[in-house]
Amino acid sequence: MDKLPWVGVSVRRKEDERLLRGAGQFLDDLDEIAALHVAIGRCPYPHARIRGVDARAALEIPGVEAVLLGEQVIARTEPTSVLRPFPGSSRTGYFAMAHPVARYEGEAVVAVAAADRYVAEDALDRIEIDYEPLPHVVDAERALAPGAPRLHESIAGNLLVGSTSKVGDPAAAFAAAATTVSGRFRINRVTGAPIEGRGVLARWHDHSRTLELWVSTQTPHLVRAQLAQSLRMAESDVRVVAPDVGGGFGIKMCVYPEDIILSLLAIDTGRPVKWVEDRIEHFRACTHAREAVHELELAAAADGTLMAVRDRYVIDVGAYNSPFGPPMLTNVMLPGPYRLRDGEFDRRVALTNKVPMGPYRGYGQPESNFVREVLLDRLARKLGQDPAALRRKNLLRPDELPFQNISGALYDSGDYMHGLDVALDRIGYAGVRARQAEWRAQGRYVGVGISCYVEFTGYPSSAFLGRTGAGFGAYESVTIRMDRAGRAALYTGVSSFGQGTETTFAQVCASGLGLEPDDIIVHRGDSQGTPYSVGGFASRTMIAGAGAIAKATEQIRAKVFRLAAHLLGAPADRLEVAGGVVRRVDDASVQIALAEVTEAAFLAHRLPPGEDPGLEATAYFDPPVSAFGYGTVAARVEADPRTGAFDLQRYVLVHDCGTQVNPMIVEGQIHGGVAQGLGAALFEELVYDPDTGQLVNGSFVDYFLPTAADLPRFELEHLETPSPSTPLGVKGVGEGGTIGAAAAVANAVCDALSPFGVELDALPLTAESVWRALERARRR
Amino acid sequence: MTARHRIRVTVNGRSYERDVEGRRLLVDFLRHDLGLHGTHVGCEQGVCGACTVLLDGEVAKSCIMLAAQVDGHTLTTVEGLAGRGELHPVQEAFRDAHGLQCGYCTPGFLLGAVALAARGAILEGDALRAELTGNLCRCTGYQNIVEAVERYLKQTVGGATRG
């Protein structure tokens, strides 16, 4: 594509008209199809043997149609597959219901289908379950210690998987280093918490023995593959449709136990069954994320040049190897944007009696960014250097890219130093530094913190994924079909969950076909009628999707030119299409409306010899490499050393996601990512009581999502270095906003309170945690 | 299960008379009995505001009210803002400012903004943010919602005052 008139334009979103009117169709809106409603009984203990279930009283309630038990599920299904297994770990996940042992509070134990949800919940209350509570463990390091309660008979020591790797000669670098710093960091357990929970509607077509599953998911085709495998069905006999999805953020991908449970109930009752997660369930049934403990060390020369890194960390994956698998970008992106050539990693993934962990915006990247950037500031303080100067000394320069980091990630392009400089300038870094002493003399503790990141977006080819044991490819696909009137329908397996894909795909498509985005009708999220698709996650949709659209529109355009050449009596290679008109490049008076060409294609009355009727194309695009976004966050806080309270006064983010298809949407993605990054940095934490093993704050009353009043106005600066390796030069952008947030704020608080020697090492950062850090510093 | 009650209610200008169970939540009545699916459910605890409707012109969280409580009252849901016609000014403001992404929380914010305008409030910045805490959004980071509501209030309340 040479001319891309709609790329880089903030067109209005196609999604908005229906969503603003309340006319979107979310899962729970499918009343016309749903006949029965399902409620799911969940284990109230962190670990328990189910000695017996008595559902007789429930089945006597009028309106109750079916009860499904764990032993039935285990007899009739396979455990879920794991799409991206951690190197060395099993590809097997877990069964959709617990039997005979439940391993976390919230694990499904029984399900009821009834005439309505109220009756189904009544029935649950009448089901007697005899539990024998078993010893539990809800702390990853304790789970790995000798004598800990064991979750799975087949897994010794609760270690799902552990591995080490080494690049270069880190031991020699540490021995030779002028200085080293180390820290032990705790990353909080959080969750994506979209405002729409999950939901499933399953319908069994007995005459054809096929299954139709409507589900609030980011990845209809992946859900279909996993669901078919668990149900021992052929993929072609399963249709998965995602309607409008009320937020995803990574947690609504892959198959979930309820998809399987609802399918079985649909088969058993012969009627469409619907389940919609309530918020209390959501916290106990939807994957958690991020929790880990890192012991990180950095070695540096006397001038601050980084020499080596060591990271020994434990990820708390919860009770099972969940359907995507544990985060792998943690160590892949730990080196960040710095010149590091020696390092070693020791990874352990621990099983605990908690809700399984799954993907969540950034999956591994916010975690490792926090530990690295906070420790870098400690190094700067130890060396008596300015944190910005230390980073400047170690940031990769544009002429060093492409650069392969010690974990194998190949950074493609960018100007990391420029990003840092723009951020420092925007926040007035030098000004804060100049006035800090004066402010402190007045009793004001103002600090500024910075955090630099590189963001891994998309996947580096399907072949790479295959070599690393993944159960999916890196590609995306599209079918584009012109209609007789000269408009186009675009079919994509990616669903619509807030990311604006309908609009941005239409922009790329319109650019390729010489149409306007309004001329493109986007059909999405239905495995029936869309080409085989991977789905929307890992900031990959536009990287892979734009390539597929570009290829499909090229094929259509070529045929349009052949048909137009025939109709006009002009050479095909002298034609162009724009504004719905095909014309001669060198003589605009020779032209024909695109609609006339499409009419000719479908009537097929006057086709050139050898030309088939119709005008459509299906294309797949497999990105050969990943693209790497990057950015710098600069945050300014004022802290109160008496209470630990701090005020986040300013938040600057400079980022580069390459070519922006729709700058308005890009900015929205960044805003949302920052809000989630700050939520996890300042407010959110899923807390388990070690004694009872219970999740103690699993509701919106107790788990604090940031409100409008909790967040500052974000100040963004956009840089644009087109990726040399993706179509259009795009890089992914969905996850970037989350990555740098926690470290920037932590560094700002430490900077503000540096006269007291405060060091922060755990998230979230609250007045209490800062106050405790102040107390620790005073005692030292 | 529980006693049924006959209720009469006006929703978006249309009168309905229905029998409801005593325990029927207002939001379930609106969504599943009247088919007005634009009012959403996010938490069932009155925290997230996705279920916000206007009850006699005031914001109300329909997930923590019973349908039986609205007998004789007048409700507005998101479907009542524009009907089938042109978008309401608050909807236009959200569209133009990119104040929505997945759109699930959006109806609640729209109705909250309409109630703010009805109070004659022209708010911006932190004062407006404080007024928006009854609704949670997980997609936008609020910045564009704040901008959309600022624009709408300036246009609607400001315009009305000048007029």
Minimal C-alpha gap between A647 and chain B (Å): 14
Asked if residue A341 is part of any domain, the answer here is: no
Indicate if A122 and A221 belong to the same structural domain. yes
Is residue B104 within 8 angstroms of chain A, CB to CB? Answer: yes
Instruction: Read off the pLDDT of each residue in A399-412 and give the average, rounded to a whole number.
Output: 96
Nearest CA in chain B to A497: B102
Residue B132 and residue A707: Cβ atoms within 8 Å? yes
Indicate if A275 and A407 belong to the same structural domain. no
Minimal C-alpha gap between A627 and chain B (Å): 23
Which of A12, A22, A192 shows the shortest C-beta gap to B79? A22
| Per-residue confidence (pLDDT) for residue A82, from 0 to 100 | 96
Instruction: Read off the pLDDT of each residue in A177-206 and give the average, rounded to a whole number.
Output: 98
Cα separation, A671 vs A649, in Å, equals 16
In chain A, residues 667-706 whose CB comes closer than 8 Å to chain B: 667-668, 671-676, 699-701, 705
**Model confidence pLDDT, tens digit, residues A607-623:** 999 999 999 999 999 99
Indicate if B9 and B71 belong to the same structural domain. yes
- Helices marked H in A350-458: 365-383, 387-394, 416-427, 429-441
Nearest CA in chain B to A702: B47
A710: buried, middle or exposed (CB in 10 Å: 19+, 13-18, 0-12)?
middle
Indicate if A418 and A480 belong to the same structural domain. no
Q: Which positions in chain A touch B96 (Cβ < 8 Å)?
A: 12
Minimal C-alpha gap between B57 and chain A (Å): 19
Instruction: Tally Cβ neighbours within 10 Å of residue B33.
Output: 15
Q: Which positions in chain B touch A196 (Cβ < 8 Å)?
A: 40, 42, 50, 102, 104
Which of A26, A248, A671 shows the shortest C-beta gap to B140? A671
In chain B, residues 129-158 whose CB comes closer than 8 Å to chain A: 129-130, 132-133, 135-146
- Which of A572, A605, A621 is the last residue before a domain boundary? A621
Minimal C-alpha gap between B76 and chain A (Å): 12
Which range of residues forms the domain containing residue B117?
83-162
Residue A499 and residue B101: Cβ atoms within 8 Å? yes
Instruction: Read off the pLDDT of each residue in A271-281 and give the average, rounded to a whole number.
Output: 97
Output the CA angle A770-A773-A775, nearest 5 degrees.
Answer: 115
User: Per the omega criterion (within 30 degrees of 0), is the bond before A764 cis?
Assistant: yes
Asked if residue A92 is part of any domain, the answer here is: yes
| Per-residue confidence (pLDDT) for residue A2, from 0 to 100 | 53
Indicate if B92 and B150 belong to the same structural domain. yes
Cα separation, A495 vs A216, in Å, equals 9
Asked if residue A160 is part of any domain, the answer here is: no
Cα separation, B44 vs A279, in Å, equals 7
Which of the residues B79, B87, B139, B152 would you substitute to probe the A interface, choosing the one with the greatest number of A C-beta atoms within 10 Å? B139
User: Per the omega criterion (within 30 degrees of 0), is the bond before A402 cis?
Assistant: yes
Nearest CA in chain A to B132: A708
Which of the residues A9, A13, A15, A16 would you substitute to probe the B interface, choosing the one with the greatest number of B C-beta atoms within 10 Å? A16
Long-range contacts of A93-96 (CB under 8 A, 24+ apart): A93/A320, A93/A321, A93/A322, A93/A323, A94/A257, A94/A319, A94/A320, A94/A321, A94/A322, A94/A356, A95/A70, A95/A257, A96/A230, A96/A257, A96/A258, A96/A259, A96/A260, A96/A261
SS3 (DSSP) at A483: coil
Asked if residue A708 is part of any domain, the answer here is: yes
Q: Amino acid identity, residue A763? A: L
**Model confidence pLDDT, tens digit, residues A27-52:** 999 998 889 999 999 999 999 999 99
Which of the residues B4, B75, B77, B102 would you substitute to probe the A interface, choosing the one with the greatest number of A C-beta atoms within 10 Å? B102
Cα separation, A654 vs A316, in Å, equals 32
Indicate if B39 and B87 belong to the same structural domain. no
Indicate if A589 and A663 belong to the same structural domain. no
Provide the 8-state DSSP code for A137.
Answer: -
Yes or no: say if A199 and A210 are a contact pair by the CB < 8 Å rule: no
Q: What is the ipTM of this complex?
A: 0.97
Residue A13 and residue B98: Cβ atoms within 8 Å? yes
Which range of residues forms the domain containing residue A229?
33-134+198-245+252-285
A713: buried, middle or exposed (CB in 10 Å: 19+, 13-18, 0-12)?
middle
Is residue B126 within 8 angstroms of chain A, CB to CB? Answer: yes
Residue A667 and residue B98: Cβ atoms within 8 Å? yes
Indicate if A587 and A700 belong to the same structural domain. no
The residue to which tokens 């983010």 are assigned: A653
Minimal C-alpha gap between B142 and chain A (Å): 6
- Which of B34, B53, B77 is the last residue before a domain boundary? B77
Is residue A29 within 8 angstroms of chain B, CB to CB? Answer: yes
Residue B132 and residue A667: Cβ atoms within 8 Å? no
In chain A, residues 52-81 whose CB comes closer than 8 Å to chain B: none
Tally of helices (H runs) and strands (E runs) in chain A: 22, 28
Domain containing residue B123: CATH number: 1.10.150.120
Size of interface A-B (CB pairs under 8 A): 186
Is residue B48 within 8 angstroms of chain A, CB to CB? Answer: yes
Domain containing residue B63: CATH number: 3.10.20.30
User: Per the omega criterion (within 30 degrees of 0), is the bond before B89 cis?
Assistant: no
Nearest CA in chain A to B83: A21
CB-based contacts of A429: which residues, under 8 Å, 6+ apart? A388, A423, A448, A450, A634
Residue B144 and residue A665: Cβ atoms within 8 Å? no
Indicate if A643 and A501 belong to the same structural domain. no
**Model confidence pLDDT, tens digit, residues A288-327:** 999 999 999 999 999 999 999 999 999 999 999 989 999 9
Minimal C-alpha gap between A680 and chain B (Å): 12
Which of A23, A673, A711 shows the shortest C-beta gap to B142? A711
Residue A22 and residue B36: Cβ atoms within 8 Å? yes
Minimal C-alpha gap between B86 and chain A (Å): 10
Indicate if A715 and A752 belong to the same structural domain. yes
Instruction: Read off the pLDDT of each residue in A457-465 and give the average, rounded to a whole number.
Output: 95
Distances (CA, A) of A12 to A60, A81, A505, B96: 54, 39, 13, 7
CB-based contacts of A194: which residues, under 8 Å, 6+ apart? A245, A246, A247, A248, A249, A251, A252, A497, B102, B104, B138, B139
Q: For A310, list phi and psi in degrees, rounded to 5.
A: -130, 130
| Per-residue confidence (pLDDT) for residue B162, from 0 to 100 | 44
Indicate if A556 and A612 belong to the same structural domain. yes
**Model confidence pLDDT, tens digit, residues A65-76:** 999 999 999 999
Asked if residue A727 is part of any domain, the answer here is: yes
Minimal C-alpha gap between B158 and chain A (Å): 23
| Per-residue confidence (pLDDT) for residue B159, from 0 to 100 | 76
The residue to which tokens 């990616």 are assigned: A494
Domain containing residue A447: CATH number: 3.30.365.10
Instruction: Read off the pLDDT of each residue in A421-425 and give the average, rounded to a whole number.
Output: 98
Is residue B70 within 8 angstroms of chain A, CB to CB? Answer: no
Indicate if B67 and B10 belong to the same structural domain. yes
Q: pLDDT 10s per residue in chain B (163 long)?
A: 578 999 999 999 999 999 999 999 999 999 999 999 999 999 999 999 999 999 999 999 999 999 999 999 999 999 999 988 899 999 999 999 999 999 999 999 999 999 999 999 889 999 999 999 999 999 999 999 999 999 999 999 987 654 3
Cα separation, A287 vs A774, in Å, equals 34
Split into its structural domains, chain A has a count of 3
Indicate if A444 and A540 belong to the same structural domain. no
Indicate if B56 and B122 belong to the same structural domain. no
Indicate if B91 and B47 belong to the same structural domain. no
Cα separation, A608 vs A477, in Å, equals 29
Domain containing residue A260: CATH number: 3.90.1170.50
Nearest CA in chain B to A34: B32
Minimal C-alpha gap between A524 and chain B (Å): 14
Output the CA angle A370-A373-A378, nearest 5 degrees.
Answer: 120
In chain A, residues 236-255 whose CB comes closer than 8 Å to chain B: 244-249
Which of B128, B130, B144 shows the shortest C-beta gap to A668? B144
- Which of B77, B101, B133 is the last residue before a domain boundary? B77
Residue A19 and residue B43: Cβ atoms within 8 Å? no
Report strand pairing: A273-276 vs A199-205. antiparallel
Asked if residue A735 is part of any domain, the answer here is: yes
| Per-residue confidence (pLDDT) for residue A780, from 0 to 100 | 85
Cα separation, A28 vs A301, in Å, equals 59
Report strand pairing: A48-54 vs A101-102. antiparallel
- Bridge partners, residue B19, by sequence: B6
Which of the residues B104, B109, B116, B129 would you substitute to probe the A interface, choosing the one with the greatest number of A C-beta atoms within 10 Å? B104
Q: Which positions in chain B touch A31 (Cβ < 8 Å)?
A: 31-32, 35, 37
**pLDDT-above-90 percentage for chain A:** 97
Indicate if B69 and B106 belong to the same structural domain. no
Indicate if A656 and A606 belong to the same structural domain. no
Is residue A126 within 8 angstroms of chain B, CB to CB? Answer: no
Asked if residue A27 is part of any domain, the answer here is: no
- Which of B77, B98, B128 is the last residue before a domain boundary? B77
**pLDDT-above-70 percentage for chain A:** 100
Indicate if the pLDDT at residue A286 is higher than 60: yes
Nearest CA in chain B to A20: B91
Could you tell me which of B99, B32, B30, B27 has the C-alpha nearest to residue B65?
A: B27
Structure tokens at A557: 């355009």
Indicate if A609 and A635 belong to the same structural domain. no
Split into its structural domains, chain B has a count of 2
Residue B47 and residue A701: Cβ atoms within 8 Å? yes
CB-based contacts of A121: which residues, under 8 Å, 6+ apart? A39
Residue A247 and residue B104: Cβ atoms within 8 Å? yes
Nearest CA in chain A to B90: A20
Indicate if A617 and A580 belong to the same structural domain. yes
Indicate if B87 and B138 belong to the same structural domain. yes
Instruction: Give A1's pLDDT tier (boundaries 50, 70, 90).
Output: very low
Instruction: Give A727's pLDDT tier (boundaries 50, 70, 90).
Output: confident
Which of A23, A701, A707 shows the shortest C-beta gap to B133? A707
Residue B37 and residue A664: Cβ atoms within 8 Å? no
Cα separation, A636 vs A430, in Å, equals 12
Mean pLDDT of chain A: 97
Could you tell me which of A665, A200, A216, A246 has the C-alpha nearest to residue B38?
A: A246
Minimal C-alpha gap between B162 and chain A (Å): 28
Instruction: Tally Cβ neighbours within 10 Å of residue A171.
Output: 14
